[in-house]
């Protein structure tokens, strides 16, 4: 048995249309188990990290399009863990920020905002540190938290002086990491 993504009623795993709400392909996780799970497990076991990142991101993006809340959470956490493990810094920070700012499915990753900031500081990436600050200042109507206001001013001064470039992430797409230079260095 499974749950319908539309109405949360219990339905059979093989159901192609929910008898309760009429949603097509209604079974949570089924699309993932049938379309992605075997390949992702194979890529993980064989250590093909670049292909694994691409395939996990593709599945994650699809979970957003299907609005499968169960898989959004599971894939966000497992993809973030993978990104951190293989030191794909840009992907990890982006995913933590995306998790905390996604209005539909947010805070699937515990402590994401602070974790993103501390990670950027830990790896010495001022461009990512500033990205995290900028991403969350929109939510902090009074500006950056008091303990970070001076640091943000320092980073912005570096940008103004041409010592630091603002990091530009690709648009949120299923293939956004396919040609990313950092991914190819893993």
pLDDT along the chain (186 residues), means of 10: 90 95 90 95 96 95 87 95 95 95 88 94 97 84 80 96 93 90 82
Q: What pLDDT, on the 0 to 100 scale, is given for residue 151?
A: 95
Give the pLDDT score at 179: 86
Residues 133 and 161 placed together within one structural domain of the fold: yes
Contacts of 120 (CB under 8 A, 6+ apart): 89, 93, 126, 128, 129, 131, 132
Structural domain harbouring 23: 1-28
- State whether 16 and 87 are in the same domain: no
Q: Say what the pLDDT of residue 143 is.
A: 72
Same domain flag for 13 and 42: no
The pLDDT, as a whole number, for residue 68 is: 85
Q: Is 64 helix (H, G, I), strand (E, B) or coil?
A: helix
pTM here is 0.88
């Amino acid at each position: 048995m499974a749950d319908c993504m539309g109405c949360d009623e219990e339905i059979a795993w093989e159901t192609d249309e929910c008898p309760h709400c009429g949603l097509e392909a209604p079974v949570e996780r089924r699309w993932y188990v049938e379309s992605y799970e075997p390949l992702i497990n194979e890529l993980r076991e064989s250590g093909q990290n670049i292909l694994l990142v691409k395939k996990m991101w593709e599945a994650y993006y699809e979970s957003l399009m299907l609005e499968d809340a169960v898989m959004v959470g599971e894939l966000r956490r497992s993809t973030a863990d993978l990104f951190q493990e293989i030191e794909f810094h840009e992907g990890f920070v982006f995913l933590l920020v995306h998790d905390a700012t996604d209005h539909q499915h947010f805070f699937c990753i515990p402590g994401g905002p602070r974790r993103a900031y501390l990670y950027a500081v830990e790896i010495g990436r001022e461009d990512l540190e500033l990205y995290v600050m900028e991403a969350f200042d929109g939510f902090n109507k009074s500006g950056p938290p008091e303990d970070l206001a001076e640091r943000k001013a320092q980073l912005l001064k570096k940008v103004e002086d041409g010592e630091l470039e603002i990091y530009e992430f690709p648009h949120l797409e299923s293939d956004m990491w396919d040609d990313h230079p950092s991914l190819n260095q893993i």
